[in-house]
């Protein structure tokens, strides 16, 4: 297992399956009266959120607490970051406080990669969503959800399963992480979006691209609807909300065209009436709530594998932390 989780591309097939299988085991916990494991006792995990995010932050926090980690929430708003402190100084501060892992959500693509490559801090860096780049734990929880429905069982991948992802691919970190992880797990990905919301160069991505949602429905095992922000209209990505809904929204009529076994997914938060109607969002085929529950298991698995057990006793992170402690002691004397 590697030290950081910055991109879904960092995960080999074996890595990804190990995380999914570990999450499956950890999910058993949530059925118990006492949901806590002592694995990360004495380890400090910082949730460093430069962007508002209730659901992802809460999900990580629950996962950290179930593993008994010391959890510190470092929200950029109201902190020194709001007063102009740089990412570097924030990282140095967290390092000085002895963070074993930093879960970072940042509005700038690449900020977690910067942290992971810098010598600003030595702990593990977990990307909780960076700009329009990636959101690897979301892709993992999506794959976890798909596997449960489409190919259940430890050790199984998603070979041959057909995943259709619809919406604002251009601005979506969920789409980027998903296409990378789903390819690793053997699934076939089709993106459906108006051409304005697809990145230049997507023809070289490991996926198919279509502008026609109706044509893709019958060949879909899991349909993932991406959030479309209303402000995109103002930049002329599409003419009106109604036109978007008509062409790319999921309503009951389109739901009926999906194969019977197919599931409907959404990373949330949903914009009801835009990319998905309330009727579909509330239907039993929609896995949104399940995805949230699975998110906790996946994040526990990631933290467990990056930080837990004996895996890291001789790691650079451990060595660096010992070093820092020694320096601090000397300074105190």
Partner 1 sequence: MTSYLIRNAQLLGGPAQDIHIADGVIREIGTGLAIEADVDIDAHGLIALPGLVDLHTHLREPGREDAETVLTGTQAAAKGGYTAVHAMANTFPVADTAGVVEQVWRLGQASGYCDVQPVGAVTVGLEGKKLAELGAMHDSAAGVRVFSDDGKCVDDAVIMRRALEYVKAFDGVVAQHAQEPRLTEGAQMNEGQVSGELGLGGWPAVAEEAIIARDVLLAAHVGSRLHVCHVSTAGSVELIRWAKAKGWDVTAEVTPHHLLLTDELVRSYDPVYKVNPPLRTAEDVHALREALADGTIDAVATDHAPHPAEDKDCEWAAAAMGMVGLETALSVVQQAMVETGLLNWEGVADRMSHRPARIGRLSGHGRPVSVGEPANLVLFDPAYRGTVNPDSFATRSRNTPYRGLDLPGRVHATFLRGAATVLAGELVEPGELA
SS3 assignment, position 314: coil
Q: Give the per-residue contact string, 69-88, with partner 1 (x = CB under 8 A; - = no).
A: -----------------xxx
Under the binding rule (CB under 8 A), the answer on residue 64 touching partner 1 is no
**DSSP code, position 188:** E
CB of residue 171 to partner 1, shortest distance in Å: 8
Residue with smaller CB distance to partner 1, 18 or 202: 202
Under the binding rule (CB under 8 A), the answer on residue 188 touching partner 1 is no
Under the binding rule (CB under 8 A), the answer on residue 98 touching partner 1 is no
- Cα(68)–Cα(40) distance, integer angstroms: 5
Q: Determine the interface stretch with partner 1 among 29-37, 152-160, 201-209, 265-273 (rule: CB under 8 A).
A: 201-209
- Cα(84)–Cα(217) distance, integer angstroms: 48
Beta strands in 24-94 (DSSP E): 44-49, 70-75
- Cα(315)–Cα(323) distance, integer angstroms: 12
Q: Which of 12, 52, 77, 117 binds partner 1 (CB under 8 A)?
A: 117
Q: 3: which 2 tokens?
A: 């030290």
Under the binding rule (CB under 8 A), the answer on residue 168 touching partner 1 is no
Number of residues that bind partner 1 (CB under 8 A): 25
Q: 327: which 2 tokens?
A: 């320096």
Distance, CA of 265 to chain centre? 14
Residue with smaller CB distance to partner 1, 87 or 101: 87
Are 240 and 246 a contacting pair, CB within 8 Å?
no
Q: Which of 132, 210, 315, 324 binds partner 1 (CB under 8 A)?
A: 132
SS3 assignment, position 138: helix
SS3 assignment, position 104: strand
What are phi and psi for residue 71, nearest 5 degrees?
-105, 130
Under the binding rule (CB under 8 A), the answer on residue 201 touching partner 1 is yes
In 124-217, which ranges are continuous DSSP H helix? 136-150, 173-184, 213-217
Residue with smaller CB distance to partner 1, 1 or 113: 113
Under the binding rule (CB under 8 A), the answer on residue 256 touching partner 1 is no
Under the binding rule (CB under 8 A), the answer on residue 130 touching partner 1 is yes
Q: Which of 105, 122, 133, 266 binds partner 1 (CB under 8 A)?
A: 133
CB of residue 153 to partner 1, shortest distance in Å: 32
Interface contacts to partner 1, rule CB under 8 A: 86-88, 106-111, 113-114, 117, 130-134, 173, 176, 199-202, 204-205
């Amino acid at each position: 297992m590697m030290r950081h989780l910055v991109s879904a591309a960092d995960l080999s097939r074996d890595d990804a399956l190990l995380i999914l299988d570990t999450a499956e085991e950890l999910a058993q916990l949530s059925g118990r009266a006492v949901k806590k494991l002592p694995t990360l006792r004495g380890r400090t995990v910082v949730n460093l959120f430069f962007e508002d995010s209730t659901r992802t932050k809460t999900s990580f926090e629950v996962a950290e607490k179930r593993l008994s980690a010391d959890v510190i929430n470092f929200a950029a708003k109201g902190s020194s970051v709001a007063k102009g402190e740089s990412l570097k100084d924030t990282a140095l501060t967290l390092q000085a406080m002895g963070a074993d892992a930093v879960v970072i959500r940042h509005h700038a693509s690449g900020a977690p990669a910067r942290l992971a490559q810098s010598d600003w801090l030595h702990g593990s860096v977990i990307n909780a969503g960076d700009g329009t780049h990636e959101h690897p734990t979301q892709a993992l929880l999506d794959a976890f959800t798909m596997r449960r429905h489409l190919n259940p069982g430890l050790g199984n991948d998603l070979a041959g399963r057909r995943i259709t992802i619809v919406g604002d691919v251009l601005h979506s970190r969920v789409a980027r992480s998903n296409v990378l992880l789903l390819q690793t797990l053997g699934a076939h990905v089709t993106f459906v979006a108006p051409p304005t919301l697809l990145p230049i160069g997507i023809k070289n991505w490991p996926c198919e691209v279509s502008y026609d949602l109706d044509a893709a429905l019958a060949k879909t095992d899991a349909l993932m609807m991406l959030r479309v922000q209303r402000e995109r209209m103002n930049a002329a990505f599409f003419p009106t909300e109604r036109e978007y809904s008509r062409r790319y929204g999921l309503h009951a009529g389109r739901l009926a065209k999906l194969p019977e076994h197919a599931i409907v997914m959404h990373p949330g938060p949903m914009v009801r009436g835009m990319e998905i109607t309330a009727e579909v969002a509330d239907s039993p085929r929609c896995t949104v709530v399940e995805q949230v529950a699975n998110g906790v298991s996946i994040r526990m698995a990631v933290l467990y594998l990056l930080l837990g057990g004996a895996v890291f006793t001789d790691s650079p992170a451990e060595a660096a932390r010992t070093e820092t402690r020694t320096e601090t002691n000397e300074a105190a004397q």
